[in-house]
Amino acid sequence: MKSVRRNISNDNIEDDQIRIIGSASPTDDEDKIASRKPRGRNRMRVVVALAIALCCIVLIVIKMLGADSPIAMDDDSMADTSQEMSTQLFVTSDVVRYGDNAILMITPPDVTPILQVGSDVINNGGFAMAMPAADVRQDNGDINGSFVLNGELLARGTRNAGYCAIIDGEVYLGVSDESPLLEKAIESGGYFFRNIPLVSNGDPVQHKSSDKYSLRALALIDDHLVVAIACNKMSYAEFTEALIDAGATDAIRLVGGAIYGEWVSEGGIVSGSGLRDGHVSDHSSYIVWR
Amino acid sequence: MSDYLTYANSVEYYRIPFDTIVAIVADGNYCQITTVDSNVNVVTLQLGQIESLINGLEPFPDNIFIRIGKSLIVNSRYISYLSIAKQKIVLSDGRSFRFTHNASREALRALKQYLEGK
């Protein structure tokens, strides 16, 4: 195995450059690439200088004429631009180590999530994050456990006591076979789904199985929702302890394993977990931040 | 033959076949290695360190890896689409996975030039 000298970084590259890894000497292509950059930069500098000069001339003319209205118009256009930029939502992520295990902790943007159902949720895109929410029953293909979509009750069941309710812009995680939030979600046009409980009020929910799975969770950490994805297979006990160690006060399982979920990080970097073209059905459900 | 990207720390050992690596994305002090099964392996290495790791392999792997800007390394065999206008690159095997990433127009123009010249 090759050792890695961690103090050596090979980052002498700009975002507008490429490098063929392993090339002993620069190729003609690389020469062209290298020579392109200064030209592009010089051209950019000329354009920027011309733009600044033009702006100065316009400002001087406006000041001489004593006209205020064009500046007000600029303010409006700037407001429009910032509004457009604010629609770009991204997740942030970090890795938490817990013994031999690692968990990818993904913090969605600070917007209220919704639930969506269908086989094209991921393909349709347009989200900061979409993660599979409730299990699909193997016997009849329906959603497992009570499920409310935009106030409509699509499925009923309490096999899993954990729940997530999204009502009037608030997200509630909890454990209860008969939560009043189910009815409230229906009445308010909200959302509700069930899955296996993992953490309740800072305490682990006990599970009999010691088998190891590819686990995911929706957790409440420091009053923020976090999606936790185990980077390697873990038992429920290990996963739950790791979540509590990371500060989770409440957490329920999200559908894990090969079922695909996707998120977008800053810069438009799209990442996923699970099999991209794995099985999905019309009853596949997702919790979505968009 | 160097068929695997191997990496170990005190508690983990990674042995990832080169031809299954689709892309490596920088994420702060970590990197996310996406493989053809859409699995994301998070390793505590920076992208430059992984590049050095690949560079140091002898004999060099058959797969050609390309560093695109500061935050991305791609396996060139899976490049299926790039758009300079949309600043987008797509890696796919046409069957089981699809990986999308953004890159600068200049970098994608250079990549297009390289691929056309191969």
What local confidence, expressed as pLDDT, does residue A50 receive? 63
Which residue of B60, B64, B97 is in closest CB contact with A276?
A: B97
Question: Which residues in chain A have their CB less than 8 angstroms from residue B39's CB?
Answer: 273
Per-residue pLDDT of chain A (290 residues; tens, 9 = 90+): 333 333 334 567 888 899 888 754 334 344 334 333 334 444 555 555 566 666 556 555 545 544 443 333 333 333 333 333 335 788 988 888 887 788 889 999 999 999 999 989 998 888 999 999 999 887 777 899 999 999 999 999 888 999 999 999 999 999 998 889 999 999 999 999 999 999 999 999 998 888 888 899 999 999 899 999 988 888 999 999 999 999 999 999 999 877 888 888 877 777 888 877 777 889 999 999 99
Chain B residue with CA closest to A104: the answer is B42
CB contact under 8 A, A1 and B8: yes
Residue with the two structure tokens 């490429």: A18
CA distance linking residue B104 with residue A267, whole number of Å: 10
CB contact under 8 A, B70 and A15: yes
What local confidence, expressed as pLDDT, does residue A288 receive? 96
CA distance linking residue A173 with residue A228, whole number of Å: 14
Which residue of A10, A15, A102 is in closest CB contact with B104?
A: A15
Closest CA to A139 of A155, A123, A117, A152: A155
Question: Which residues in chain A have their CB less than 8 angstroms from residue B52's CB?
Answer: 4-5, 8-10
What local confidence, expressed as pLDDT, does residue B10 receive? 67
A231 touches chain B (CB under 8 A): yes
A31 touches chain B (CB under 8 A): no
Residue B4: pLDDT band by 50, 70, 90 thresholds?
confident
A29 touches chain B (CB under 8 A): yes
Which residue of A13, A274, A275 is in closest CB contact with B70?
A: A13
Give A84: exposed, middle or buried? Use CB within 10 Å, 0-12, 13-18, 19+. Answer: exposed
Higher-confidence residue of B52 and B61: namely: B52
CA distance A164 to chain B (A): 26
A26 touches chain B (CB under 8 A): no
Alpha-helix runs per DSSP H in B38-100:
47-55
Residue with the two structure tokens 């996310």: B32
Decide if A255 contacts A216 (C-beta within 8 A).
Answer: yes
Chain A residue with CA closest to B106: the answer is A16
CB contact under 8 A, A276 and B98: yes
Which residue of A5, A21, A28 is in closest CB contact with B66?
A: A21
Question: Which residues in chain B have their CB less than 8 angstroms from residue A9's CB?
Answer: 46, 48-49, 52
In whole angstroms, what separates CA B48 from the centre of its chain?
12
Chain B residue with CA closest to A40: the answer is B106
Decide if A176 contacts A161 (C-beta within 8 A).
Answer: yes
CA distance A20 to chain B (A): 5
Higher-confidence residue of B51 and A289: namely: A289
| Residues with Cβ within 8 Å of residue A272, at least 6 apart in sequence | A260, A261, A262, A263, B34, B38, B40
Question: Which residues in chain A have their CB less than 8 angstroms from residue B56's CB?
Answer: 2
What local confidence, expressed as pLDDT, does residue B108 receive? 95
Give the number of A-B residue pairs with CB atoms closer than 8 Å: 149
Q: How many CA atoms lie within 13 A of A191 on its CB side?
A: 21
A99 touches chain B (CB under 8 A): yes
Closest CA to A93 of A109, A72, A115, A73: A109
What local confidence, expressed as pLDDT, does residue A80 receive? 36
What local confidence, expressed as pLDDT, does residue A220 receive? 95
What local confidence, expressed as pLDDT, does residue A3 receive? 31
A274 touches chain B (CB under 8 A): yes
Which residue of B67, B103, B105 is in closest CB contact with A19?
A: B67
Which residue of B30, B37, B56 is in closest CB contact with A275?
A: B37
Tell me the ipTM for this assembly.
Answer: 0.90
Q: What is the pTM of this model?
A: 0.56
CB contact under 8 A, B67 and A5: no
Decide if A13 contacts B70 (C-beta within 8 A).
Answer: yes
